[in-house]
């Protein structure tokens, strides 16, 4: 197969209107569905939309019992439906994505497909690569990779519903130079626009145009919420419930900047040779058996624990005062029953104001300050994660140390450097290690590392239960969302929320890991204030009500939340999502080679 890759050339249309159709198909009424959608697509095209998306399985509805039931409604591509919408695309010089059940006439195999149609007919097809629970009843998983199609309106990619749960699918398309990922879905079980949609746009610096199903079908309530998401993960425009057309505007120049809000590049700063283990399929087998193979590095038993995040502002350059503050906060957390406390990035030293100050403050690990904190850990019988400027020979690192009653249990050196530390720090050289403790298997990331989707995935693939992420970040800021009119039964939330999207919550959930995010408050060097909002997040983002704690945007405070890394001792398989890692076990690494390429097509954008 010749994989389609987007072009780095400037397209004919650099800015244009897009539309997503919020629609609820009716089962067994294919002709009616198509007629109504045709009218809505034509309305959008007359309004000037150049790219128009219909939902997943838009022509037929979704909840089919089996292959025999859906058989009368499947079609080949090209076929009658694509020809009908193709005539519209030609008449209005636009591009349309249609969701439909496809039959391959050579094999008689069925697929859940998205078809990109342009003025000259069918451009390409995406067959859903990650089945939700419904597809195995009637269709085969997709076999066409995750292609990107160069068009006069830029580089267009397609994903279908469950595909976007996985960091790798959108990453493949981002690396192939996607300007817009058209994600069509029948999303359910949460208020939309869904945090996963928002995160994939942020991760890859491209637009996500989302057309989602609305309404009720065979007891399944769909969420609606069609949206255009900006390359920074914010919402451009969206509609909530019912049959509506969502309009937004794409700016190709913004999709090709690929920059973070506070500087740096989402692709040039990747470390692909450090991501080699992303090719491994470690959850193909029962993890309780896999990780104890050959008697090497078995998963700890795990248990119920209390985890704390300390949202503080350390004193820059005053290590003695910071050690005293860490001891005080640790004592407070221990008195509340905490088993582990995570402090922000560089808490031991404070934020260095210059490379010279960083070098003056640097200590070895182990070293005198960490020894004092080991005493604290022994006294209170708890673990601490503390950030520091570490000196190792002639090199300096932004390091997080995991300290417990047994001593210095492990350390991690920040792999992805940001503007805070590029002047003095060397990128980490320890990989992404993990430490086995009575609380479970613990991994660490630091601040800017979490801006990239790969590091959390690598920790998950090695069986980590809890990711500790000491941070001093001012972006991306969490944001809220208004109430939805779409009906959801309790406990799925429907009301207005002040935090709907929080990157670190998603990083935990997409890897089925608990996440302890400890952020600073106060001034950030050279930019906005650190946004606080430290939290302990659960391993399943679809579990409501959320069992999590999130702190304020400005106050110095401690938050504590329970986690559970244990599994039933009577079962030979994991009975806890953090040990099963339901999302991780559904990955398809045979598509992922481009993720470890050091010269992916997207880099052509930066050679001109």
Q: Rounded to whole angstroms, what are the CA distances from 35 to 101, 125, 226, 488?
A: 17, 22, 20, 29
Residues 70, 64: Cα–Cα separation, whole Å: 6
CATH superfamily of 305-564: Carbon-nitrogen hydrolase (3.60.110.10)
Give me the pLDDT at residue 608, please: 65
* Placement of tokens 């991760």 in the chain: 203
Q: Do domains 15-258 and 305-564 have the same CATH topology?
A: yes
CATH class of the domain at 15-258: alpha beta
E strand spans, 407-512: 407-413, 434-437, 440-444, 466-471, 479-481, 497-501
CA atoms within 13 A on the CB side of 180: 38
Q: What is the pLDDT of residue 1?
A: 59
Measured CA distances, 388 to 39, 316, 394, 396 (Å): 61, 11, 16, 10
Pairing of strands 49-53, 304-311: unpaired
Peptide bond into 411 cis (omega under 30): no
The span from the CA of 64 to the CA of 27, in Å, is 9
Residue 189 to residue 491: CA distance in whole angstroms: 10
CB atoms within 10 A of CB 257: 14
- How far apart, in whole angstroms, are the C-alpha atoms of residue 172 and residue 592? 7
Distance CA 107, CA 462 (A): 39
How many residues belong to the chain?
608
What is d(CA 282, CA 577) in angstroms, rounded to the nearest whole number?
15
Q: What are phi and psi of 15, to 5 degrees?
A: -130, 135
Which residues sit opposite 55 in a β-bridge? Answer: none
User: What is the mean pLDDT, run by run of 10 residues, along the chain of 608 residues?
Assistant: 91 98 98 98 98 98 98 98 98 98 98 98 98 97 98 98 98 98 98 98 98 97 98 98 97 97 93 98 97 97 98 96 98 97 97 94 97 98 98 98 98 95 96 98 98 98 98 97 96 97 98 98 87 98 96 98 96 96 97 98 92
Residue 37, both tokens? 């959608």
Token couple for 572: 């030979």
Q: Quickly list H helices, 367-495.
A: 368-380, 453-461
Q: Is-cis flag, bond preceding 476, omega within 30?
A: yes
Report which of 117, 131, 200, 193 is spatially closest to residue 161, judged by C-alpha positions: 131
How many other β-carbons are positioned within 10 Å of the β-carbon of residue 365?
A: 22
Q: What is the pLDDT of residue 460?
A: 98
Beta pairing class for 154-160 and 180-185: parallel
Structure tokens, 267: 């692709």
Domain ranges of the chain: 15-258, 305-564
Instruction: Give the strand pairing for 15-22 and 49-53.
Output: parallel
Backbone angles phi, psi at 523, to 5 degrees: -65, 140
Strand duo 235-238 + 95-104: pairing: unpaired
One-character DSSP codes across 531-543: E---EEE-S-TT-
Return the pLDDT at 420: 85
For residue 188, give both structure tokens. Answer: 């359910």
């Amino acid at each position: 197969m010749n994989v389609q890759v987007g072009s780095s050339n400037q397209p004919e249309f650099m800015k244009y209107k897009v539309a997503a159709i919020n629609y609820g198909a009716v089962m067994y009424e294919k002709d009616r569905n198509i007629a109504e959608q045709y009218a809505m697509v034509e309305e959008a095209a007359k309004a000037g939309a150049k790219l128009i998306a219909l939902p997943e399985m838009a022509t037929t509805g979704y909840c089919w019992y089996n292959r025999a039931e859906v058989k009368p409604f499947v079609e080949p591509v090209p076929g009658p439906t694509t020809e009908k919408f193709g005539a519209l695309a030609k008449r209005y010089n636009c591009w349309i994505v249609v969701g439909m059940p496809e039959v391959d006439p050579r094999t008689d195999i069925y697929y859940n497909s998205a078809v990109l149609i342009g003025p000259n007919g069918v451009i390409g097809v995406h067959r859903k690569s990650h089945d939700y629970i419904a597809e195995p009843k009637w269709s085969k998983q997709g076999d066409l990779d995750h292609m990107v199609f160069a068009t006069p309106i830029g580089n267009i990619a397609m994903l279908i519903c469950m595909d976007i749960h996985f960091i790798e699918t959108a990453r493949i398309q981002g690396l192939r130079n996607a300007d817009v990922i058209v994600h069509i879905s029948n999303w359910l079980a949460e208020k939309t626009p869904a945090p996963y949609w928002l995160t994939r746009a942020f991760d890859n610096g491209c637009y996500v145009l989302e057309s989602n199903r609305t309404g009720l079908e065979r007891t399944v309530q769909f969420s609606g919420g069609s949206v255009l998401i900006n390359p920074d993960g914010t919402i451009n425009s969206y509609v909530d419930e019912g049959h509506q057309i969502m309009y937004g505007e794409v700016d190709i120049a913004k999709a090709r900047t690929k920059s973070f809000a506070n500087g740096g590049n989402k692709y040039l700063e990747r470390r692909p040779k450090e991501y080699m283990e992303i090719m491994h399929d470690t959850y193909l087998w029962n993890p309780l058996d896999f990780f104890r193979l050959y008697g090497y590095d078995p998963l700890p038993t795990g248990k119920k624990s209390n985890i704390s995040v300390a949202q503080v502002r350390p004193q820059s350059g005053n290590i003695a005062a910071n050690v005293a503050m860490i001891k005080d906060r640790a004592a407070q957390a221990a008195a509340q029953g905490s088993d582990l406390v995570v402090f922000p990035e560089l808490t031991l030293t404070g934020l260095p104001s210059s490379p010279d100050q960083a070098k003056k403050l640097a200590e070895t690990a182990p070293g005198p300050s960490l020894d004092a904190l080991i005493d604290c850990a022994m006294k209170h019988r708890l673990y601490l994660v503390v950030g520091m400027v570490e000196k190792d020979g002639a090199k300096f690192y932004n390091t997080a140390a995991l300290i417990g009653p047994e001593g210095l249990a492990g350390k991690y050196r920040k792999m992805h450097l940001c503007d805070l530390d590029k002047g003095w720090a060397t990128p980490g050289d320890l990989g992404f290690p993990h430490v086995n403790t009575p609380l479970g298997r613990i991994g660490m990331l630091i601040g800017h590392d979490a801006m990239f989707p790969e590091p959390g995935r690598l920790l998950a693939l090695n069986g980590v239960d809890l990711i500790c992420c000491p941070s001093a970040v001012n972006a991306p800021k969490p944001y809220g969302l208004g109430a939805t009119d779409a009906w959801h039964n309790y406990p799925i939330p429907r009301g207005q929320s002040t935090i709907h999207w929080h990157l670190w919550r998603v990083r935990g959930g997409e890897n089925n890991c608990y996440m302890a995010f400890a952020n600073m408050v106060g001034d950030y060097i050279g930019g906005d204030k650190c946004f606080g909002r430290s939290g302990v997040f659960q391993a399943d983002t679809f579990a409501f009500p959320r069992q999590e704690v999130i702190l304020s945007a400005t106050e110095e405070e401690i938050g504590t939340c329970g986690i559970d890394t244990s599994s039933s001792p009577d079962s030979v398989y994991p009975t806890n999502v953090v040990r099963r890692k339901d999302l991780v076990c559904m990955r398809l690494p045979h598509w992922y080679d481009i993720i470890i390429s050091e010269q992916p097509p997207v880099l052509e954008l930066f050679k001109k």
